[in-house]
């Protein structure tokens, strides 16, 4: 995504007319791209693992943050009309509001932990199970917003969260085929059984959900009432994320080069994860959170289908289908998209 392909409807400045991407309004282009990237992310991690067992997840997280930093400055340059203006606005913001920038080290650490745990969970779970389980981030975000933001969660949303948990539990029920064997593209940790791998994957996914929820709620606290560009904040966040990831890499103390074991698929995985984070920001900026839920639901369905048909790492059954439907339905219900179909006592 480069400046040359991002233009207004008639070639005017982006601030004067709604932005278009390849002739399509950015609102819809960002949603389509987010759906594709969200679905592709899980498979890119599995493809990277199948192409190489030697790369370190911590180094991939570092390069992911560096890609995010580069993408953030690219979008900021579009917003400010030139790279020099982007650098100047970034420097002024950091110099005049150092405390606001320092606050971002907290979500920066949270997102670094989240990315590491996502890589770990994909190693131990099938693509479909990981994708559905990761929707528990809605639950963790809601609970943390109640605790940290003193926000009230209504009856409808509590019911939706209970349905979400029930759906994930159905998806997580062990299947004999999954317990006895390791999918073709799934990394197998030495000395672990299928049930142990599934449990470790669930814990990693749950940890990623908590890190995601905490980072998101803290970012909301920082951004609330702020007129600062979302791309500038993302650039600051990426700096702290890269710093934290670099510290983790340093603490591991490997003598091998940082890019040891890297293949084309590993680089593509790092860029995919980075671009996914940027697309979420673009959707929230140009579209809205409800449309983002549509993207999430479609991505879950696509991941499930591809996981069964292409990777062959899961056998679909009625219990898995019911869990997936409950999870998607709970997501829609929580975001308010089913309000017209719910009885009054739920609302």
- Which range has highest mean pLDDT (214-228, 251-265, 290-304)? 251-265
Query: In whole angstroms, what is the distance from residue 183 CA to residue 126 CA?
Result: 7
Partners of 6 in beta bridges: 21
**Does 199 have pLDDT greater than 80?**
yes
Indicate the range of 24-38, 143-157, 194-208, 242-256 predicted with least confidence.
24-38
Predicted local confidence at residue 227, as pLDDT? 74
Which residue did the predictor score with more confidence, 205 or 346?
Answer: 205
Q: Which two tokens stand for residue 322?
A: 């019911």
pLDDT value at residue 181: 39
Write the CA distances from 99 to 94, 160, 241, integer angstroms: 9, 37, 17
pLDDT of residue 84: 93
Cα–Cα distance between 267 and 154 in angstroms, integer?
43
Highest mean pLDDT out of 23-32, 208-217, 222-231: 208-217
What is the rounded average pLDDT of the residues 37-60? 87
As a whole number, mean pLDDT of residues 147-164 equals 85
Judge whether residue 133 has pLDDT over 50: yes
- Note the helical H segments in the chain: 26-51, 57-80, 83-96, 98-102, 105-124, 127-133, 137-148, 155-172, 176-180, 194-223, 230-252, 264-286, 289-306, 318-335
213 DSSP assignment = H
Residue 5 pLDDT: 29
pLDDT in the model for residue 192: 56
pLDDT at 1: 34
pLDDT attached to residue 265: 93
- In sequence order, the β-bridge partners of residue 25 are 20
Provide the angle, in degrees to the nearest 10, between the axes of the packed helices 105-124 and 264-286: 130
What pLDDT digit, counting tens, does each position of 100-111 carry?
788 888 888 888
- Of 165, 57, 170, the closest CA to residue 121 belongs to 57
DSSP state of 310: I
């Amino acid at each position: 995504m480069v400046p040359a392909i991002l233009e207004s409807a008639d070639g005017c400045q982006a601030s004067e007319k709604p932005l278009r991407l390849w002739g399509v309004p950015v609102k819809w282009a960002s949603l389509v791209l987010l759906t594709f990237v969200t679905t592709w992310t899980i498979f890119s991690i599995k493809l990277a693992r199948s192409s190489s067992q030697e790369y370190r997840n911590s180094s991939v997280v570092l390069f992911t943050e560096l890609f995010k930093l580069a993408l953030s400055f690219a979008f900021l340059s579009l917003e400010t009309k030139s790279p020099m203006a982007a650098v100047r606005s970034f420097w002024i913001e950091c110099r005049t509001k150092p405390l606001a920038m320092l606050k971002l080290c907290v979500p920066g650490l949270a997102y670094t932990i989240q990315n590491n745990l996502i890589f770990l969970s994909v190693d131990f779970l099938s693509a479909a199970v990981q994708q559905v389980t990761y929707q528990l981030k809605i639950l963790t975000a809601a609970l943390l917003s109640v605790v940290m933001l003193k926000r009230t969660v209504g009856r409808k949303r509590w019911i939706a969260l209970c349905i979400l948990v029930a759906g994930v539990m159905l998806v997580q029920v062990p299947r004999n085929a999954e317990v006895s064997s390791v999918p073709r593209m799934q990394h197998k940790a030495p000395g672990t059984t299928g049930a142990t791998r599934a449990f470790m994957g669930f814990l990693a996914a749950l940890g990623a959900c908590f890190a995601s929820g905490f980072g998101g709620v803290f970012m909301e606290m920082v951004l609330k009432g702020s007129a600062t560009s979302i791309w500038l904040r993302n650039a600051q966040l990426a700096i702290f994320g890269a710093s934290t990831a670099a510290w983790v890499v340093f603490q591991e103390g490997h003598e091998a080069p940082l890019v040891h074991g890297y293949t084309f698929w590993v680089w593509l995985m790092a860029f995919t994860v980075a671009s996914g984070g940027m697309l979420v920001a673009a959707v929230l900026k140009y579209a809205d959170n409800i449309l983002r839920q549509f993207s999430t639901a479609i991505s879950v369905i696509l991941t499930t289908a591809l996981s069964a048909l292409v990777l062959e790492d899961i056998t679909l059954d009625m219990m898995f289908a019911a869990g997936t439907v409950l999870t998607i339905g709970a997501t829609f219900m929580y975001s308010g998209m089913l309000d017209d179909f719910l009885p009054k006592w739920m609302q």
